[in-house]
Amino acid sequence: MKEMEKEKAEFAKQKKENAAKMKEIKGKVDTASKEGLSCKELKTQLELLEKEKKKIIDQDEELKKKEKLLPWNVDTISQPGFSKTVFNTEPAKKAEVLSDEEREIKTRDFFKKHEKSLKAYGMLQRYDDSKRFLQENQDLVCEETANYLVIWCINLEMEEKSSLMEHVAHQCICMQFILELAKHVDRDPRGCVSSFFTKIQMADVEYRKGFEDELTAFKDRIQRRAKEKIEAAIAEAEEEERAQRLGPGGLDPVEVFESLPQVLKDCFEKQDISLLQEAIGTLPEEEARLHMKRCVDSGLWVPDANAAKD
C-alpha cells in the first residue's frame, strides 16, 4: 500500500508540473502572436507537452486499474462487505540467503518430500477445498509449490494433456496470487490463504478479470515453453542420430548423399559398383575426386571393402 501511495504522489506531482508548463507556454504563445513574433519554437514545445499530457492520462487509467487489482492489505480489507480479521498477524519470514546450489538442493528435497500433497492440491477444483487443504498443509504455501506446479504444467502440455494442464495452471495462479498478496502486506504467506480465497470468491469484476487475464497469459507461456522444449528435444535427438551416422572423415552420409549429382545417387541406390565407376568417368576429374572423397569421409564408400573383410 505504501508503494501505491508513493506512486500516486509522484504521478500527481508529474501531472501538476505538466499542467503548469502548458499554461506557461500557452501564455507565451498568446503574447508572441499579439506582438507579431514567431512562435514556432513555442508551438513545438506545446505539442510535446500535449503528447506528455496524453501519456499522463493513459498512466492515470493504468494506475486506477492497478489500484483496483491490488490484493487486500490492512487498509483495503476494511471496506464494506469484507472481514477485517482475515489476516494472520505473523510478520513475513526473512528470506533465506542461499547459493544457487543450495536453493536447488532445497527445492529438490521439497519436491521429494511433498510430491503427493503437491499433486493433491493441483487436482482440487473448488476454492473452498483448496483453501481448506492449504490451511491443513501450510508447508505448501511457498514459492517451491508454485515452481512445482509450473514444471508439472509444462510436462503435461508436452504430453499433450492440455485439459489437465489448464486445471493445474489455475491452481498455480492461485498460489502465485497468495504469494503476491503476502508481499504487498508484508506478511507470512500462510496467513494470507483465507484472505485470498475470500477475495477471489467475492471479487469485483476488475479483480476477477485480473485473475483470469493472468491465468490466460500463464497458459500461453506454458504452451510456448512446452513447444520450445519439444523442439529442443527433437533437435537434440536429431543431432545425436547425426553424430552416430558420421563417417570416418566426420561427414554425415545423409547430407553427402543429398549433395551428389543424380547420376551418382542412382549408383548408390542400386549399389552397383560398375555403374558407379562408369558414372565417375563421365564427370570432370576434379569434381569426381571431390565427390568420392566426401563419400569416403562420410562412410558412403569404403575403398577396398573386400580387402578389409579379408
- Asked if residue 89 lies in contact with residue 217, where contact means CB atoms within 8 angstroms, the answer is no
Question: Measured between alpha carbons, how far is 157 from 107 in angstroms, rounded to an integer?
Answer: 22
pLDDT one-digit tens code per residue, 28-55: 877 777 777 777 787 888 788 888 888 8
Name 207's Cβ contacts closer than 8 Å, sequence gap at least 6. Answer: 68, 69, 199, 200
**DSSP notation for 103-154:** HHHHHHHHHHHHHHHHHHHHT--SHHHHHHHHHH-GGGSSHHHHHHHHHHHH
For 87, left (φ over 0), alpha (ψ -120 to 50), or beta?
beta
**According to the model, what pLDDT value does residue 94 have?**
59
- Asked if residue 21 lies in contact with residue 49, where contact means CB atoms within 8 angstroms, the answer is yes
Q: Which CATH class is domain 100-237?
A: mainly alpha
**According to the model, what pLDDT value does residue 95 have?**
61
Cβ–Cβ contacts within 10 Å for residue 144, how many?
Answer: 19
**According to the model, what pLDDT value does residue 238 have?**
84
Domain ranges of the chain: 2-69, 100-237, 253-309
DSSP annotation of 249 reads T
Record the pTM: 0.57
CA distances from 233 to 70, 155, 165, 244, 283 (A): 40, 13, 20, 17, 41
**According to the model, what pLDDT value does residue 304 have?**
62
Can you list the residues of the chain whose pLDDT is less than 50? 1, 68, 70-89, 306-310
Name 281's Cβ contacts closer than 8 Å, sequence gap at least 6. Answer: 288
**According to the model, what pLDDT value does residue 118 have?**
96
pLDDT one-digit tens code per residue, 196-255: 999 898 877 888 889 999 999 999 999 999 999 999 989 888 888 888 888 888 888 888
